[in-house]
Structure 1
């Protein structure tokens, strides 16, 4: 039996060792990796830290992103805060572009690969408006793992890793940040939920439990409060609404331990979405009904039901004995 166990263990060790060799390849890198590492960069002197302006042209629409005080803004959309991670992604991609896998040098084939005006044209500029990099992002390859790219002024078309069009062109989603709120949910000490039906006040007590003060006095359900805070503290819009017409019908207010407040107002549902605004903000957001409903709970949803106390056998027997004694006492009085 011991010999069989030893052989099984030995077989497992051999298998694991082979797997490590295949995955890590400790004796050297594969040819593809060597080729990628040795390839020259498409923009060798490109420095992401110097870039202060990005122009993206897609479908005849120009989006201008500018850096101000360390933050990226969508200049072409009233300097609304941009998707910071999205900007970081395209800067990193541009710095990593390499002259690898040359596909074509024929200018007549640029339209085929969509590395002309039919693709996504992107310029990276410095503070003096000097162009640091100018590239055309084309369609994806047949494998959908790579994309075609072309440096402005060159006829050479290369393959670049990744599905790049969606990275550089946000389409109808735009480059605006989708964040509505970003705060630490653990800093919230009070919540107020107002609707056309009722007003709910919730307060965190000294023991870390949430108490409902209005419209009824009750302990609040921790699970429901957690869902509200999880959603509100990281809230993102599902869409943007153009225009200024907005009539609030409900509001939720979170008060933080520093006294500051985060207030979200919402309007009646329209086409499956609720228009919403931050207090004092101009931009109108749109929240899908199910996302809005995560925030606006009723007092019945939030009320913690008192625990059901099961009577012990001794208490039942004692109660029965008391009832018998009362009954006998009543009979004596009647006699």
Structure 2
């Protein structure tokens, strides 16, 4: 065979092979488009996932599977919320395809399917990149999450492909900040289980105040309540409830100096639970850049309860029950061992950290005992007497002294109009009453003065007739 013929045959074979490959690829793509309901990741190895990275245009999260628990790697390896990790992995595993199509620049921009690292693109056109790896750093999934689809579903792309998929799961609520992946539930304590709270100054070891429940189910009482003071129940209940379902906002760098957090001068709030567990809380100062958040530390321990002598039991049945309970020392000792072990485990988890809590939670730890007392109310009687005294003092210059003779004189007749005015004046204020009395007194004085004047006029002629005898006689 000639060389020229061989070359021609080779070219023809390559061309036929290309056509066949293109035809098969197109047919396979069409079949994939038709097979709606397939998994985005068939046979996804859930148990092999050892690291998760979430990147957006504004922040990133690095989650890592540690020896005991998952941790937030870029949050000082603080324990992560395992339920949220389980949720995101399950969503990926269960994601089913709706339809797919080729991506172009217009579709990527409209559906926000550019990678977050594309800094030359607008932020609203960049999606969130979600990457899952195993222990050997092998990539198990690497996708770009775009916009959610109206009516349900989400648009996604494989990071290094051009196909856009619409899946049935929604990833709109995927958190993209490290603090949102922290395990924020610090304790499972309940406020009703708090027996007493003791506030102390660790430096001087001085007890500032103590509040205690006389028994479980009762309201807290202030120890050594000052005379004349009344406990503000709402404030006491807030203090006892501060430890219940305690949640944090964030964690600070464990290497941060105590002087920066105010923990070097923090008071200690000891929460003694009925089961013997003791929590110690140390509230610090506010953050320099956020006055609505505060630093805080916490620890836990177990203190065995002192056994009290049994009180006298009434009735044979109650005594039998009491004897049965005290006849199980092994069970009681086992419970104490379990409680001690749980407290030690909890302390290892919470004591090394500097927490950041909200202002409203921080304010529940009251430092000043005076805040627990009701404000003293002024007695109404004393207030009324003071008002009357002021009114009398204010009216003193206007009072007139009535001569004794006038006071002894018979009371003049009061007309019906005067009586009406007098009755109306009684309904007015004390000051109006004083003015009414003054007006009545003045009217009485004027009436008496007119009577005396009339009598004087009747006597006037007699005086005038006697004038020549008294005066100087004219000369003849």
TM-score of Structure 1 vs Structure 2, range by shorter chain = 0.5 to 0.7
- Partner of 1:63, secondary structure, is strand
1:254 equivalent in alignment to 2:271: yes
Match of 1:273 in 2: 293
Equivalent-residue separation in structure 2 for 1:225 and 1:48 (angstroms): 49
1:188 equivalent in alignment to 2:183: no
Moved more, 91-100 or 146-155: 146-155
1:199 and 1:215 in contact (8 A); partners too: no
Deviation at 1:261, TM superposition (A): 2.4
1:126 equivalent in alignment to 2:134: yes
Q: For the structure 1 residues 66 and 303, does the alpha-carbon distance in structure 2 shift closer, same or farther, using more than 3 Å as the test?
A: same
User: How do 1:14-25 residues align onto structure 2 when only pairs under 5 Å count?
Assistant: none
Q: For the structure 1 residues 215 and 224, does the alpha-carbon distance in structure 2 shift closer, same or farther, using more than 3 Å as the test?
A: same
Match of 1:237 in 2: 248
Match of 2:446 in 1: none
Q: For the structure 1 residues 168 and 301, does the alpha-carbon distance in structure 2 shift closer, same or farther, using more than 3 Å as the test?
A: closer
Match of 1:331 in 2: none
Q: For the structure 1 residues 107 and 263, does the alpha-carbon distance in structure 2 shift closer, same or farther, using more than 3 Å as the test?
A: farther
1:211 and 1:219 in contact (8 A); partners too: no
Number of positions where the alignment pairs a residue of Structure 1 with one of Structure 2: 266
User: How do 1:6-17 residues align onto structure 2 when only pairs under 5 Å count?
Assistant: none
1:56 and 1:63 in contact (8 A); partners too: yes
Q: For the structure 1 residues 163 and 42, does the alpha-carbon distance in structure 2 shift closer, same or farther, using more than 3 Å as the test?
A: closer
1:135 equivalent in alignment to 2:143: yes
1:57 equivalent in alignment to 2:55: yes
Q: For the structure 1 residues 184 and 161, does the alpha-carbon distance in structure 2 shift closer, same or farther, using more than 3 Å as the test?
A: farther
Q: Which has the higher strand share?
A: 1
Equivalent-residue separation in structure 2 for 1:51 and 1:133 (angstroms): 10
- Partner of 1:200, secondary structure, is strand
Give me the CA root mean square deviation.
3.8
Match of 2:113 in 1: 115
1:178 and 1:237 in contact (8 A); partners too: yes
TM-score scaled by length of structure 1: 0.64
Equivalent-residue separation in structure 2 for 1:227 and 1:56 (angstroms): 39
- Partner of 1:268, secondary structure, is strand
Equivalent-residue separation in structure 1 for 2:89 and 2:179 (angstroms): 19
Match of 1:311 in 2: none
- Partner of 1:110, secondary structure, is helix
TM-score scaled by length of structure 2: 0.47
Equivalent-residue separation in structure 1 for 2:154 and 2:42 (angstroms): 20
Deviation at 1:301, TM superposition (A): 5.4
User: How do 1:141-160 residues align onto structure 2 when only pairs under 5 Å count?
Assistant: 141=149, 143=150, 146-160=153-167
Give structure 2 stretches of 5+ with no counterpart.
Answer: 1-34, 117-126, 300-349, 376-476
Deviation at 1:42, TM superposition (A): 0.4
For residues 132-179 of structure 1, the C-alpha deviation after alignment (integer angstroms, 9 at most, x for no partner) is: 2222212334x485432123443222234566244142x264432333
Deviation at 1:187, TM superposition (A): 3.7
Deviation at 1:65, TM superposition (A): 1.3
Match of 2:211 in 1: 202
Deviation at 1:99, TM superposition (A): 1.0
- Out of 138, 158, 182, the residue aligned to residue 176 of structure 1 is 182
Computing the radius of gyration from Cα coordinates, the structure with the larger value is 2
- Out of 353, 358, 362, the residue aligned to residue 288 of structure 1 is 358
Match of 1:48 in 2: 46
1:56 and 1:64 in contact (8 A); partners too: yes
1:202 and 1:212 in contact (8 A); partners too: yes
For residues 95-138 of structure 1, the C-alpha deviation after alignment (integer angstroms, 9 at most, x for no partner) is: 22111143x31253435423332222122223343332222212
Equivalent-residue separation in structure 2 for 1:207 and 1:75 (angstroms): 42
Match of 1:318 in 2: none
1:89 equivalent in alignment to 2:99: no
For residues 75-111 of structure 1, the C-alpha deviation after alignment (integer angstroms, 9 at most, x for no partner) is: 2333211122322221222122111143x31253435
For residues 203-232 of structure 1, the C-alpha deviation after alignment (integer angstroms, 9 at most, x for no partner) is: 333454233325659997765555444442
